[in-house]
Amino acid sequence: MTRVPTPIAMPKLGMTMREGTVVAWPVPVGAPVAKGQLVLVIESEKAEVEIEAPASGVLRHVWVEPPAIVPCGTLLAAITATADEPFDPDAFRREHDRPEAPVAPAPAAAVAPLPAAGPRAAAPAITPAARTLARQLGVDPAVVPGTGPGGRVTREDVEAWVERRRSLVPVADGVALEAPATGAGDPVLLLPGFGTDVSAFARQIPALAERFRVVGVNPRGVGQSNPGPAERHDVATSAADAAALPGAPAHVIGASLGAAVALELALTLPARVRSLTLVTPFVDAGPRLLAVLDAWCRVARTGPADTLARMLLPWLFSARTLADDAARERVVRGLAAIVARIPASTLDRSAAGLRAWSGTRRDALRDVAVPTLVLGAGDDLLTPGVEAIAAAIPRAACVVVPGAGHAVCLEAPDAVNAAILRHVGGS
Amino acid sequence: MARELPMVMAINEALHLAMQADPDVIVLGEDVAGGGGRADQGIEEAWGGIMGATRGLLKAFGPTRVRDTPISEMGFLGAAVGAAATGLRPVAELMFIDFIGVALDPLLNQAAKLRYMFGGKARVPLTVRTSVGAGLRSAAQHSQSLWGITTGIPGLKTVVPSTPADAKGLLLAAIRDDDPVVFCEPKSLMFVSGELPEGDYTVPLGKANVVRAGSDVSLVGFGRTVQTALEAADALAKAGTSAEVLDLRSLQPLDEEAILATLAKTGRLIVVDEGTPRCGIASDVAALCVDRGFDLLNGPVKRVTAPHAPVPFSPVLEDAYMPTAARVLAAVHELG
Amino acid sequence: MPAPGAPLSTETLMDVYRQMRTIRAFEEKLSELVMAGKLAGFLHLYAGEEAVAVGVCAHLTDRDVVNSTHRGHGHCIAKGVDVGGMMAELFGRRTGICKGKGGSMHIADLDHGMLGANGIVGAGIPLTAGAALTAQVKQTGGVAVGFFGDGATNQGQFHEALNLAAVWRLPAVFVAENNLYGEATPMEFVTPVRDLAARAASYGMRSAIADGMDFFDVHAKAGEAIAHARRGDGPTLLECKTYRYFGHYVGDPLTYRTKEEADDWMQNRDPLQRFAERVVRDGLVEAGNLARIDRETTDRIEAAVRAAEQAPFPDPSELLTDVYVKG
């Protein structure tokens, strides 16, 4: 049996060797070789290595002549048992030539380009569980107020928001308002001022709820209340909204812009009003008030809530509060939390409505036909001169709380509550 | 009638039971008996182990099966591996897990890999008992909790009991398991008593245990930190927060389903691990929660661990080193 | 089994020659395959040291356990591990003795008492002590034999294991194959003693030195050590002076030793040649029979290569099997 021809390939002398150099064939082609005899000299990594013949026979064919650098596994030569047995170099080479493929450079990882870092989302963080729940319930997480650290929206927040949403009251076509209620008895309606929500009456609600069913009304675009289609929140529309809430005629209490709405309600739908309380009201928005509103709208659009709160602080609170460091910081924190909740678009629309209404009811005060209390604050810089309003309304009572600012409901709650209770209790 | 016994006695009982039931179980380690070779002076068993865990074994089973070794951790652990691979069921003691440094090869490259490398033909039913943890003022080289190292080695199993009852059951299960198991004995729990059932029973490897049910936050611990978590849970209950406490018991195999189940229940999870923070169990559990429980997370996964530092000696420093209920409460607060 | 010292029968002599020739042919074939790029990983060849493995293992049965080093093919073959399974293992095939999961440095077959080659220098020595411990505790009458190199005698595991084996009088034989080099470093450069056997004195252990290129010397001295252990008289450190032909690993440029030195060992002290000359000269075996064994062995190895090349690779699912017995 003729032994099969034996290949000589460029050996792989170690894991890192990729190629070698053919340096010399000490045995000429056609000459006999003995197994173990030196048949080839190669160079690898600067060292010459002697390669022994793997079999005895004849060095029949050499494919790679020196000097040549070839990859490991390249067929270099063949040894046949005899010099004249049939041998097909091409077929043999096809079968035995296995040069190592060069290592391809690692393809640049096909990485999806990162989305261009958009402006840092103004939306606060939200937990995965909350996001999942929001998605399931079809809620836009951006509108959910967060109570977690740093305002993070938690699952509980989404649940609470959905719960609040369920309690919206329809007041007009496609418009439902958030009107949280507490307590029992005759209804009291609370109408908050510009840029705030029902929480502005936080110090009044517990006191009133002992004897009344207290309903706070977040106007269009505030809290959960629908913004509605109009580009301007007209005072007359807000009054109609409040009147549309179900229930008996109510003791209506409004503060600042809320007082304008309350006044409008008393003038247009007096049957819905059992008594009227106007806290720091105006019929003409003075230049200072208008300037503060303008700044309020601008800062709300671009600045953080803390900055807005600090800007509003001296306009809404008395010098005594401003002088007390601890009280001042506490107030700033609370104020920032409230103003953060009111979207800039709502402020713009409310301001437009306020400006449109200002001055239109100057002469109508004498037509107010419900028992009225006008409640002012001694240190109020935005709506001074409430005494004149009280004087123009028939049989209106007037109480001015000394040493308090425009946000008198928050700053002097005891005095405010006492005056209100006297008014609504006595009706 | 419930007996209360310390963990060291639970371990002793398990060893007696295991050796009685199976003649192939042998015990070896430094001073597992003590006083070797001095019978003519009336000395039989000087110590029974540095904490007494192996007391009485020499008398009950004889010197062929209960062997004091030279101080040659690599040598006798390697011998234990070789014995396990050839038909015995050895329980070798690595006196302090801190000594794993001088004995890692028999565990890392031999015990853990023989079965795999030999295509499934070998079996290494070895148990390594070892003391872990701080709290006894033993300083940096005798107080470590290196279960992160053994847990990370494929082929090894690692368990950490938190009570005497679990210690007995887990050790019997470990000895009877056909794979190499590292049985970690928290030194600060060895003399803490708890209910200890009589008789022969096992606690399965790879099953965590809800030791306290709750709904607002999950506290995951093992070994000593289970007690830490329970203290925190008590304080939280007074403040109106209901905490669930999960005792992992087994680090490899890890009961991933139990971890995800408690996360699904509360949405908020804190891991309390006495080991150091890098590449450890706390990070493993946190990664699992984020990877497989992402949509369940209602807050970040907090890790309460030892600091990235050696264990200090001074009692004031060592006490600050270890996870405490106060730190767990602070983590709950951060969770939001 | 013939008593130690008794002359070996012709049949036994042919058997041990076949084993040595198998080892030589197996290792040489591997060298070819590596140079041709057909085998992956590091291979450490035993050619030249055949007399040690075969001389020792001739005294052992399946109830005795051996283990070895990264240079373990010779011990596997001498202990009766299937050559076809070994070749398939080296080709990484599913039919390999370790299902392709171990490779050259971790070939094992517990059915034949082969506790494995080992990739960690010195790590097998405590395992040997462990296997001897099992024999002692279970009173099987078996012995454990550990093979290791000169380099391993400088490892901590060597010293700890020998100390332990001595103090417990374990039925073990520790065979130090002194082939004069640890990787690329000459032994005398890193070892302060000339004869490794001298180290046994530190452990109060019996020792002996054999000419590792002479089957008969190894066989005699191994027989005494194994009988000593089997009797319960304790372990022996048996040093065999030998030489590895192919260097540390296949492809080793051998730049740390001279060609003259290597040629001297290979040409003047080759264990197969010396064995053949002696048994033929003493009329114990006919030369023709030895030549026949040579040819049969060559064919057997070639057949093993062909079978291995055609065998299937392991299924990818095998990646995760056998990490644990359960779970």
List, for residues B159-168, the tens digit of each pLDDT value.
Answer: 999 999 999 9
Strand ranges in A192-348 using DSSP code E only, listed in sequence order? 212-216, 250-255, 273-279
CA–CA gap between residue C152 and residue C119 (Å, rounded): 12
Which of B232, B231, B111 lies closest to B180 in space, CA to CA?
A: B111
* Cβ of residue C256 closer than 8 Å to a chain A Cβ: no
CA–CA gap between residue B75 and residue C135 (Å, rounded): 17
pLDDT at B324: 96
The answer to whether residues A88 and A202 belong to one domain is: no
- Residues shown for chain C: 327
A1 pLDDT band, cuts 50/70/90, is very low
- Cβ contacts of C130 on chain B, cutoff 8 Å: 78-86
Distance from CA of B326 to the nearest CA of C (A): 37
In a domain, A110, yes or no: no
pLDDT at A121: 45
Distance from CA of A120 to the nearest CA of B (A): 21
Q: What residues contact A304, with CB distance under 8 A and at least 6 apart? A: none
In a domain, A349, yes or no: yes
- Cβ contacts of B336 on chain A, cutoff 8 Å: 148-149, 152, 154
Query: Which pLDDT tens digit goes with each residue over B61-106?
Result: 999 999 999 999 999 999 999 999 999 999 999 999 999 999 999 9
B304 pLDDT band, cuts 50/70/90, is very high
In a domain, A81, yes or no: yes
Going by their DSSP bridges, the two strands A186-191 and A250-255 should be labelled as parallel
Residue A107 reports pLDDT greater than 80: no
- Edge-to-edge, what's the strand order for the sheet holding B250-252? B66-68, B25-29, B89-96, B127-132, B181-186, B157-159, B250-252
CB C108 within 8 A of CB B122: yes
pLDDT at C59: 97
Closest Cβ–Cβ partner in C116, C133, C163 for B70: C163
pLDDT at A15: 65
Q: Write out residues in chain C with pLDDT < 50, as ranges.
A: none
Residue positions of B annotated with a catalytic role: 142
Residue B1 reports pLDDT greater than 90: no
CATH superfamily assigned to domain C10-254+264-312 = Thiamin diphosphate (ThDP)-binding fold, Pyr/PP domains (3.40.50.970)
Please give the residue that has the higher pLDDT: either B225 or C327.
B225
A105 pLDDT band, cuts 50/70/90, is low
Q: Name the residue range of residue A240's domain.
A: 175-426
DSSP string, A226-251: ---S-SS--HHHHHHHHHHSSSS-EE
CA–CA gap between residue B300 and residue B288 (Å, rounded): 13
- Cβ contacts of C255 on chain A, cutoff 8 Å: 47
Residue A113 reports pLDDT greater than 80: no
> Where do the structural domains in chain C lie, given as residue ranges?
10-254+264-312
pLDDT at A149: 83
- Cβ contacts of A128 on chain B, cutoff 8 Å: 294-298
In a domain, A117, yes or no: no
In a domain, A115, yes or no: no
Closest Cβ–Cβ partner in C35, C36, C253 for A47: C253
DSSP run (H or E) holding B28: strand B25-29
SS3 at position A271: helix
Say yes or no for a CB contact (<8 Å) between A154 and B295.
Answer: no
The answer to whether residues A325 and A222 belong to one domain is: yes
The answer to whether residues A152 and A195 belong to one domain is: no
CB B237 within 8 A of CB B230: no
The answer to whether residues A342 and A209 belong to one domain is: yes
A104 pLDDT band, cuts 50/70/90, is low
Say yes or no for a CB contact (<8 Å) between C130 and B80.
Answer: yes
CATH of the domain at A180: 3.40.50.1820
Residue A109 reports pLDDT greater than 60: no
Nearest CA in chain C to A46: C253
Chains contacting B (3+ CB pairs below 8 angstroms) = A, C
The answer to whether residues A154 and A222 belong to one domain is: no
Report H helices in chain C.
10-35, 50-57, 73-78, 83-90, 124-138, 156-167, 187-190, 215-230, 259-268, 271-281, 287-310
Say yes or no for a CB contact (<8 Å) between A49 and C34.
Answer: no
CB C17 within 8 A of CB C290: yes
The answer to whether residues A404 and A343 belong to one domain is: yes
* Cβ of residue B242 closer than 8 Å to a chain A Cβ: no
Nearest CA in chain B to A156: B298
Number of domains forming the structure of chain A? 3
* Cβ of residue A152 closer than 8 Å to a chain B Cβ: yes
Query: Which pLDDT tens digit goes with each residue over A169-201?
Result: 999 988 999 998 999 999 999 999 999 999 999
In a domain, A114, yes or no: no
What are the angstrom distances between the C-alpha of C50 and each of C23, C178, C186, C260? 7, 13, 21, 21
Say yes or no for a CB contact (<8 Å) between B119 and C161.
Answer: no
The answer to whether residues A160 and A16 belong to one domain is: no
In a domain, A138, yes or no: yes
Last residue of a domain, one of A96, A115, A146: A96
A242 pLDDT band, cuts 50/70/90, is very high
A116 pLDDT band, cuts 50/70/90, is very low
Distance from CA of B296 to the nearest CA of A (A): 5
CB C243 within 8 A of CB C180: yes
SS3 at position A216: strand
CATH of the domain at A27: 2.40.50.100
Chains contacting A (3+ CB pairs below 8 angstroms) = B, C
- Cβ contacts of B294 on chain A, cutoff 8 Å: 128
Nearest CA in chain B to C128: B82
CA–CA gap between residue B160 and residue B147 (Å, rounded): 9
Distance from CA of C314 to the nearest CA of B (A): 11
| Chain A interface mutation, best of C31, C35, C256, highest count of A Cβ atoms under 10 Å | C35
Say which amino acid occupies C35. M
The answer to whether residues A260 and A137 belong to one domain is: no
- Edge-to-edge, what's the strand order for the sheet holding C144-149? C65-67, C144-149, C172-178, C236-241, C206-211
Closest Cβ–Cβ partner in B24, B84, B116 for C323: B116
In a domain, A322, yes or no: yes
CA torsion, points A294, A298, A301, A306, in degrees to nearest 10? -100
| Chain B interface mutation, best of C106, C145, C154, C160, highest count of B Cβ atoms under 10 Å | C160
Distance from CA of B114 to the nearest CA of C (A): 8
A120 pLDDT band, cuts 50/70/90, is very low
The answer to whether residues A157 and A217 belong to one domain is: no
- Cβ contacts of A14 on chain C, cutoff 8 Å: 251
Domains in chain B with CATH codes:
4-195 (3.40.50.970), 209-335 (3.40.50.920)
Instruction: Look up residue C241 and give its two tokens.
Output: 């002076």
- Cβ contacts of A17 on chain C, cutoff 8 Å: 251
Q: Compute the count of residue pairs across chains A and C with CB atoms less than 8 Å apart.
A: 30
The answer to whether residues A297 and A204 belong to one domain is: yes
